[in-house]
Chains A and B, each alone.
Chain A
Amino acid sequence: MASDLELDTLLSDEGKRVIACCGSGGVGKTTTAAALALRAAERHGRRTVVLTIDPAHRLAQSLGMEALDNTPRPVDGLEGGSLDAMMLDMKRTFDDVVASHTTPDRAAEIFANPFYQAVSSTFSGTQEYMAMEKLGQLRASGRWDLIVLDTPPSRSALDFLDAPARLARFLDGRIIRLLSASTPGSRRSMLSLMGASAAVFTRVFNKILGGHLLTDVAEFTASLEDTFGGFRKRAEATFRALQGDQTSFLVVATPEPAAINEAVYFSRRLTEERMPLDGMILNRLTPVGASLPAERALGAAAALEEDDPDSPVAAALRTHADLARRRASEQRVAARYGAACPDIPQAWLPTLGAEVVDLEGLRDFGATAAGAAAAA
């Protein structure tokens, strides 16, 4: 077992203000974030808030709450300490930012624009951008000692780092600028600046997208100009803050090739960007209790079945052999992470008996995670 990540040390470190759980979809990020937040609150007395972004309402289930909205709500049933939980509503966060950066009239104009409606609800990257924004707001409020962040359920963990910059770049890109500089109906300025390609672009794209879409975009960018500056600066400030010592990144994975590869890519990237990566949490290892080699168990099972094809002892031995082989195969896959990122402490966690759906489950998960290094 390669567990050397001291989670209790991390959770009790008063210098740490943000813990971000990253990883590809389906590895248990949300559960991990909720369990760590609960432990920080209950065991280490830190005023903690957990911010989840997953639209599947999984954290709501895990925390036994009916609904999470865009503001932190206290979690009931704690054994001491203070924990709030919230789920990001990206549309509402976007609306709030717009409203706080412009006059009510201007804001109403922006809200009514069909392109704004698309950007604020379906745009790829908006979720990540708004997660950064919300994180910035929570930090600025000063209400919490520790913010635990669950990252959006994107296909790649890297999206969390890249999407906000990509969206900001896009909103500030040259096509958008040219569009906002040219009023709908007279495209002369675009033509002279963009040359022949632009002519093709507007002709073809108006046909494909419908003329109204480009007009919406042009109007949207014109009316958002001042707000954009705000967005960009804030996103950049939050991103820079993530580089500081107050932040801790934890990468979450399961012992499957795709998840481990993703964890390796993400860890390398964090190292390149000088982001503080403090550990890797490996979820869902097959639990094996008996220390009997799979081959010997299988051999014995076969011998017993010669006398009695339905031997219950053989069934128990075959069950053990299956578990042991699964575990060995998982460890081979997981070992790739240690080979690729030898300096990153890890915590290897077995699948707990039941699925984590309540505070008690989260507590067990947190205790197992914190105890992994000691048990190693």
Chain B
Amino acid sequence: MSATAPPVPRLHIVTGKGGTGKTTVAAALALALAGPGRRVLLAEVEGRQGIAPLFDAAPLPYAERHLAAGLDGGEVFGQAVDADEALLDYLDMFYKLGSAGRALRKFGAIDFATTIAPGLRDILLTGKIKEAVSRTEAGRMAYDAVVLDAPPTGRVVKFLNVTVESGRLAKTGPIGKHSRSVARLLHSSLTAVHLVTTPAAMPVQETLDAHRDLLAADLPVGHVVLNKVAGTKTVDVTAEQLREGLRRTGLPSDDGLVDALLDEYAASRVETEAVDAYRDRLERLGRPIDELALLPEGVDLSGLYQLARALRTSLGETRRAAAEPEGDDHGE
């Protein structure tokens, strides 16, 4: 490790409660990190194929594949990591299995091993991610950053806490060594776990809980992303003003419409005030908060780039610092 500033995170782990848009945020973050000349890997591990539709792309394979152009000329690669494939890879690496590996799979042994030892599955998945983070090609890092669309907040600490979860597995031998090196990366400042939430009670509560659990497990928390924020100006408007304004612009100005518009406006002001309250609660965590606007039309490809630009602005500092590759070996 260099003795100067702490290294900028190169592994970005994105988690959040179901429905908060963590996959969308992970994808936007990958685009944002892929500045000029940079290569970013965007990976998912739950077999959901949630990334491909966001990019209007075919389902992602196990092998890394070019996915999209990043902001300002970088490149984003995509990958769907699968535990069974990762175990075969792993066996092949350490035991030179060749075709015997395929026979094992046919026999159901691969499935069996990852089923009787759920901790093994997580080690294989995080191990594959770690490999991508630390891989070098032609004297430089293969990826400037890796973004992981991780399991939701309820499961993420268990997923990342590989050394604890592997307690039942062999402590000596390659898997023990492997899990320790994965754990070193995940607990280092090269990693940042970002928490995605929407401005609503349960997602915010889960974010606070996850933050506490991550700290307790000594895992590095990065940013909090407050997603789907509906913006409203908070100025007072009266029925008379509204009626007059509608009339002046040639719109219908009957009482029904005026009342309905007032109701909508009042409701969305309540919502905005609620957002402020949630933001206050999240700010007490002391983490940077990135805010992403709710896109009225839903998130299509252009919306995704719009979110990426918003994230890049708030990640500005990180991004500039990361443009100078660190010379350390992160734990190997």
Q: Digitize A16-52: 1 where CB-to-B-CB distance is under 8 Å, 0 elsewhere.
A: 0000000011110000000000000000000000000
Tell me which residues across on chain A come within 8 A of B47, comparing CB atoms: 155
Contacts known (A208-B175, A209-B170, A316-B242); A200 close to B100, Cβ less than 8 A: yes
Total A-B pairs in contact (CB under 8 Å)? Answer: 183
Q: Which residues of B contact A290 (CB under 8 A)?
A: 257, 260-261, 264
Given contact pairs A153-B154, A201-B107, A288 touches B264 in the complex (Cβ within 8 A): yes
CB <8 Å contact, A313 and B241: yes
A91 at the interface (CB under 8 A from B): no
A122 to B294, CA, bound (A): 36
Q: Is the CB of A357 within 8 A of B297?
A: no
Question: For the complex, is A310 an interface residue (Cβ under 8 Å from B)?
Answer: yes
Q: Mark B237-267, 1 if CB is under 8 A from A, else 0.
A: 1000110111011111000010011111101
Which of chain A's residues have a CB closer than 8 A to the CB of B17?
26
Q: Smallest CB-CB separation from A56: which chain B residue? A: B154
Chain A positions within 8 Å of B235 at CB level:
310, 312, 315
Least CB separation from B109: chain A residue: A201
Q: Which of B53, B174, B263, B294 contacts A207 (CB 8 A)?
A: B174
Contact A115-B116, Cβ < 8 Å, known A26-B20, A197-B109, A357-B201: yes
Min CB–CB distance A168 → chain B (angstroms): 13
CB nearest neighbor in A for B262:
A316
- CB pair A257–B18 under 8 Å, yes or no, is no
Interface size class, chain B: 35 or more
A303 at the interface (CB under 8 A from B): yes
Measured between beta carbons, the chain A residues less than 8 angstroms from B246 are 300, 313
Q: Does residue B276 face the partner (Cβ distance < 8 Å to A)?
A: no
Closest to A28 in B: B19
CB contacts under 8 Å to A, within B264-308, are 264-265, 267-268, 270, 294, 296-298
Q: Is B72 an interface residue (CB 8 A)?
A: no
Nearest neighbor of A262 in chain B, beta-carbon distance: B48
The main secondary structure of chain A at its interface with chain B is: helix
A188: Cβ under 8 A from any B Cβ = no
Contact A292 B296 (CB under 8 A): no
A112 CB-CB contact with B under 8 Å: no
Contact partner of A316 (CB less than 8 A), chosen from B100, B108, B248, B261, is: B261
Contact partners of A319 in chain B: CB under 8 A: 232, 264-265, 268
Does residue B173 face the partner (Cβ distance < 8 Å to A)?
yes
B236 located at the interface, meaning its Cβ lies under 8 Å from any Cβ of chain A in the complex: yes
Tell whether, in the assembled complex, residue A329 and residue B118 are in contact, meaning their CB atoms are under 8 Å apart. no
Return the contact of A200 from the options B53, B97, B257 (Cβ within 8 A).
Answer: B97
Chain B residues positioned under 8 Å from A237 (CB to CB):
none
B109:A174 contact, CB within 8 angstroms: no
Segment from A68-76, A132-140, A320-328, A365-373 that makes contact with B: A320-328
B170 touches A208 (CB 8 A): yes
Q: Which chain B residues in 97-121 approach chain A with CB under 8 Å?
A: 97, 100, 103-104, 107-109, 112-113, 115-118, 120
- Which of A200, A213, A326 touches B104 (beta carbons < 8 Å)? A200
Does chain B have a CB within 8 A of A181? no
Contact of B270 with A213 in the complex, beta carbons under 8 Å: no
Contact A210 B170 (CB under 8 A): yes
Q: Could you give 29 example pairs across A and B, Cβ below 8 Å?
A: A27-B19, A55-B154, A56-B154, A56-B202, A58-B202, A115-B116, A118-B117, A155-B46, A170-B112, A175-B107, A196-B100, A198-B107, A209-B116, A210-B171, A217-B116, A256-B298, A259-B19, A290-B261, A291-B260, A296-B251, A300-B251, A304-B248, A304-B249, A312-B241, A313-B237, A313-B242, A319-B265, A330-B298, A355-B200
Beyond A207-B170, A208-B173, list 16 extra A-B contacts (CB 8 Å): A114-B168, A174-B108, A176-B112, A196-B103, A197-B103, A197-B109, A200-B104, A205-B113, A207-B173, A208-B169, A208-B174, A209-B113, A217-B116, A296-B251, A300-B245, A323-B264
